[in-house]
Structure 1
Amino acid sequence: MSPLSHTVSLILTVLLAYIWLAIPALEPFALQGFAVTILLFLVLKRLQKAKVWHILPQHGSLEITLLTFAFLILIGATGGIDSAFFSLSYLLLFFLALTSEVPTAIGATVAIMLFYYALSGNFDMRALEAMAGLPLGLLVFLFAKSQYDEAHLSKALLVEEENELELAANEASVLEKFVGDFLEPKLTALEEVGNTLEPREIITQLGLLRSEITKQLERLKPKEK
């Protein structure tokens, strides 16, 4: 899914959660909606043959929209900013930071803040402090993600460099063995019997040498990645 489509889907999910809670006929069923959405998320993870403890949504997928909807209707139905489950907002931001592009995570966070603002009947200083913690939390998670990505990239480059060094050492060993066990003895033998061999036999031996040298040169050519 493209970053733009992912952003739009998350914003629409936040809007859907607000509409659910704003409709008097649906608001009492918020907890049931939460349970069904979480169950659907777990079923999708199971269909993807994910392990039981792999709850992180796939990057750029619609899985994060299910968690977003579930968390928001749970928090919204139990008091919004004053809810005992408000801390789940930070878990949601953590998932957004890990599974979305930076603009998508920022756009979704703004939509979530507007969601809480629209639900709050009395927007006091305590509510303002709680709201201010959301972008700060996202900033921390995005920074941690960038550090992890850099460390992971450095490790991958180090492993690749070690593999290249090992490959170079193996190729040098093969080349050394080729020269010592085949090429040098063959040239020595040709020097010793060169005067007694027929020209055709010499050409045959030289052709064999050329063939083996060509094989070794092919082995030493850089492989396409």
Structure 2
Amino acid sequence: MRTLIIIPAYNEEKNIGDLLHKILETELDNFDILVINDKSLDSTSEICSHFNVKVIDLPCNLGIGGAVQTGYKYARKYGYQIAIQVDGDGQHDPNYLKTIIELLQSKKADMIIGSRYIEKQGFQSSVLRRVGIRYFSKLIKLLIKEKITDPTSGYRGCNSNVIEILSQYYPSDYPEPESIVYLKRNGFKIMEIPVKMNERLGGVSSIRSFRTLYYMIKVSLAIIIDVLRKSPQKEF
């Protein structure tokens, strides 16, 4: 199966080169790398040009949701059967890519999420973010009756059916928890696997302490409104 590795990146000049080098060193077959440069103000795009990868330079900053959906639209347009999102900050270990691809090929799930909270090894995120993660995990379990231990994880892979639906609709602001609920309402199967994540070496996270409360309120309302809508019909 053709695999597209989607890397949303905003001001990741300190991390993107090392990440690309590690991905290219993995023993993967039939894959391409696509970096979505979300109007970075640093040399992110220039660094990517030194590697044999595809780069889309967005004309304006769309945020994580818009950047990732750009990757899904590209995957759909060019017929990729698997798409895997890897954050540009270097926190996601590329050694798990092969496992994600194998699970998707075996059709055990439509989406695979890398969770740092199954075995609780590696970098566990900041205290405030862990509070938010536990909150969303409980909210999602209440609404869809399924436990997701790491609902904010951006380390996720999906098959062609999920690529199709997310290329048409993807939440724009802090999309990970909301997209989980949306996919479950469409009848897709989601599986988590244990991963170790690294601490960001440079740059600044898009979710900082003073925005945590806004993040939790905004995403909670979006999830609840989505659940209250009439369940969409999956056509796959």
- TM-score, structure 1 as length reference: 0.27
Between Structure 1 and Structure 2, the one with more helix by share is 1
Between Structure 1 and Structure 2, the one with more strand by share is 2
Indicate the structure whose relative CO is greater, using CA pairs within 8 Å and at least 6 residues apart.
Answer: 2
